[in-house]
């Protein structure tokens, strides 16, 4: 009997520190750490896996949740997929992928939905994982584009963005880091409810909890006018690769005086020398996935460019 090169095991709480250590070693994506994965454990049934080699050392992890007879990697995160140690041979990566699929198939899972980490968030800066899933029969079922400002390129803003920045400066808008999540969340929640009849993905209590777990990664930057908070951005910092605007919102006064235009400009300059991209996020509306063209135009005004990210589906019932 041939001994398998890799062994797949389900995640157990006793493996928490080994899991986190592996994430810190091979990824900047802090949302794969267990404190982030488990803040909404009551909403998602964990189905995460670890892949071990013959020495019982971790070679890969697969953050996932189960929803009925489908596996999602991951419904509670922006991205999922395989995190593998590097360097790695492509043949080993494909073997790891096959073992993960076989594991779930034996558990009677019918479908797997995967949101791979896009290349710009990987340490190895490649989309190797997308190749893996396509080699294993995955179907591309969804694509989105993230608008990002390449920070190595000179700033080139649209005239309207410049005009609003100047307006903000003229009336005395100031920018600073803040811990006033409550005030910002009120603005954010009001905007989302008024425009789209939805709530933020995170509650105020959840984002404050996550920020306490990851104070170096989750930050709030705000615009003030006459000591009043009029706009803000919750920033997820994936050092040294990307500074990502996770939440963006302003009130009526902020919109009138260009609070967000000025704030985005200040943050672009703050991170220009030590990040590759400033990410302004995707541009689709939940739950329809329709493009928000007004948002696209606003982001393009900062010279943001589209970077496409893909999602895949695997029908295990069709695997031989």
Q: What is the pLDDT of residue 301?
A: 97
Q: What is the pLDDT of residue 105?
A: 96
Q: What domains are there in the chain, each with its CATH number?
A: 7-136 (3.40.630.30), 148-308 (3.40.630.30)
β 83-84/305-315 pair status: unpaired
For residues 234-251, one letter each, b for 16 or more C-beta atoms within 10 angstroms of the residue's C-beta and e for the rest, the string is bbbbbeebbbbbbbbbbb
Cα 223 from Cα 228, distance rounded (Å):
8
Start-end of H helices in the chain: 16-26, 34-37, 90-106, 128-135, 159-171, 181-196, 204-213, 252-256, 259-271, 293-300
Contacts of 71 (CB under 8 A, 6+ apart): 47, 64, 65, 104, 109, 111, 112, 113
- Confirm if 185 and 220 have CB atoms less than 8 A apart: no
Q: What is the pLDDT of residue 318?
A: 82
- Band (pLDDT 50/70/90 cuts) for residue 40 is confident
Tell me the helices (H) and strands (E) count for the chain, helix number first: 10, 17
Q: What is the pLDDT of residue 196?
A: 85
In tens, the pLDDT along 162-174 reads 999 999 999 999 9
**CA gyration radius for the chain?**
21
Cα 139 from Cα 135, distance rounded (Å):
10
- Confirm if 232 and 203 have CB atoms less than 8 A apart: no
Q: What is the pLDDT of residue 284?
A: 80
Q: What is the pLDDT of residue 88?
A: 93
Cis peptide before 191 (omega within 30 of 0): no
Q: What is the pLDDT of residue 152?
A: 94
First to last CA, the chain: 21
Tokens for 190?
Answer: 């009001």
In tens, the pLDDT along 119-160 reads 999 999 899 999 999 999 999 999 999 999 999 999 899 999
Q: What is the pLDDT of residue 320?
A: 63
Query: For residue 54, with 0-12 CB atoms within 10 Å meaning exposed, 13-18 middle and 19 or more buried, which class applies?
Result: exposed
Cα 185 from Cα 207, distance rounded (Å):
9
Contacts of 111 (CB under 8 A, 6+ apart): 69, 70, 71, 313, 314, 315, 316, 317
In tens, the pLDDT along 82-117 reads 999 999 999 999 999 999 999 999 999 999 999 999
Mean pLDDT over each residue of the chain, to the nearest integer? 95
In tens, the pLDDT along 186-229 reads 999 999 999 888 899 999 999 999 999 999 999 999 999 999 99
Q: What is the pLDDT of residue 287?
A: 65
- Confirm if 175 and 218 have CB atoms less than 8 A apart: no
pLDDT above 70 (res 2): no
For residues 194-232, one letter each, b for 16 or more C-beta atoms within 10 angstroms of the residue's C-beta and e for the rest, the string is eeeeeebebeeeebeebbeebeebbbbbbbbbeeebbbb
Query: Tokens 């135009």 sit at which residue?
Result: 297
In tens, the pLDDT along 259-305 reads 999 999 999 999 999 999 999 999 887 666 788 899 999 999 999 99
Average pLDDT of the segment spanning 6-23: 97
């Amino acid at each position: 009997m041939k001994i398998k090169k890799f062994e797949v095991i389900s995640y157990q709480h006793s493996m928490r520190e080994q899991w986190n250590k592996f994430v810190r070693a091979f990824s900047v994506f802090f949302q794969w750490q267990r404190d982030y994965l488990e803040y909404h454990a009551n909403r998602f049934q964990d189905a995460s896996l670890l892949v071990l080699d013959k020495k019982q050392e971790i070679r890969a992890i697969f953050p996932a949740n189960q929803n009925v007879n489908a596996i999602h990697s991951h419904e509670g995160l922006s991205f999922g997929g395989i995190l593998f140690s590097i360097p790695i041979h492509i043949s080993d990566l494909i073997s790891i992928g096959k073992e993960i699929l076989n594991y779930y198939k034996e558990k009677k899972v019918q479908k797997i939905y995967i949101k791979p980490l896009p290349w710009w968030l990987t340490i190895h800066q490649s989309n190797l994982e997308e190749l893996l899933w396509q080699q294993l029969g995955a179907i591309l079922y969804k694509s989105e584009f993230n608008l990002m400002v390449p920070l190595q390129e000179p700033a080139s803003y649209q005239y309207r963005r410049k005009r609003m920045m100047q307006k903000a400066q003229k009336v005395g808008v100031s920018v600073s880091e803040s811990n006033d999540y409550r005030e910002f969340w009120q603005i954010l929640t009001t905007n989302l409810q008024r425009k789209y009849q939805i709530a933020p993905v995170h509650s105020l209590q959840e984002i404050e909890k996550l920020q306490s777990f990851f104070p170096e990664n989750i930050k709030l930057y705000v615009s003030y006018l006459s000591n009043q908070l009029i706009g803000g951005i919750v920033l997820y910092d994936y050092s040294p690769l990307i500074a990502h605007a996770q939440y963006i919102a302003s009130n009526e006064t902020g919109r009138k005086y260009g609070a967000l235009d000025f704030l985005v400009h200040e943050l672009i300059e703050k991170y220009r020398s030590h990040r590759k991209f400033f990410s302004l996020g995707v541009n689709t509306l939940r739950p329809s996935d329709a493009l928000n063209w007004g948002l696209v135009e606003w982001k393009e005004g900062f010279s943001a460019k589209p970077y496409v990210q893909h999602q895949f589906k695997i029908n295990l019932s069709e695997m031989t």
